[in-house]
Structure 1
């Protein structure tokens, strides 16, 4: 083998190693964002409100749909799914209401006696 062919082969090998050695790292741009912000950034352009979007849907199917079409990762899809379901159920994800200090009376009793008929 001639020295020119050996140099050319080494040069080609060096170029292949230099260009093939770098690995692209993907970033999850939605990571760490709260669910209301995820909704505002990805859903609010078509939906005015999150109300009713999860109504009548199973948790798993809603999650899979959001993961495939609207979110950049599974964690953001779960957060968005939980947020949409909490809106439809009337519960809030971030803030919980404090319970009353007195639990002796139940909420099933009327506040005043019912008049006899």
Structure 2
């Protein structure tokens, strides 16, 4: 009887809150990762989003939703960096050498 009265007096059961819910990915990184990592670049290391999310969920984030969000963000940062580097690497020429070649200069004094 006493236990029943205690339950009725306390009202609804307290729910746990996910403090990371609704946070943008960059904010999740800043709150969770920035103390050890300067930048999100390179943290995905070519992993698939799903396996990275599993790793983050098990070790660093407060739940599966924030792990998925953070994993997608880390992969997108690496994809963007790789896309920036690709055009220069594909052309075979250093950046800024798109001009037509000049004729050789004349040699004087011979």
Q: Give the TM-score category using the shorter length.
A: 0.5 to 0.7
What corresponds to 1:65 in structure 2?
Answer: 55
Return structure 1 stretches of 4+ with deviation > 4 angstroms. 111-114
CA contact (8 A) 2:50 2:68 kept: no
SS of the counterpart of 1:75? helix
- For structure 1, which runs of at least 5 residues remain unmatched after alignment? 1-12, 92-107
| Distance across 1 between alignment mates of 2:23 and 2:45 | 24
TM-score (norm 1): 0.62
Q: TM-score, normalised by structure 2?
A: 0.65
Residue by residue over 1:51-77, the C-alpha shift from the partner in whole angstroms, topping out at 9 and shown as x without a partner, is: 100022222210001112211122111
Q: State the match for 2:68 in structure 1.
A: 78
Larger radius of gyration: 1
Q: CA deviation at 1:112?
A: 7.9
Q: Does residue 46 of the first structure (1) align with residue 36 of the second (2)? A: yes
* Structure 2, unpaired ranges of 5+: 82-90, 92-97, 102-110
Q: Would you tell me which structure has more helix in proportion to its own residues?
A: 2
SS in structure 1 opposite 2:50?
A: helix
1:77 aligned counterpart, secondary structure: helix
Measure how far apart 1:24 and its partner are. Answer: 2.1
CA distance in 2, matches of 1:20, 1:39: 40
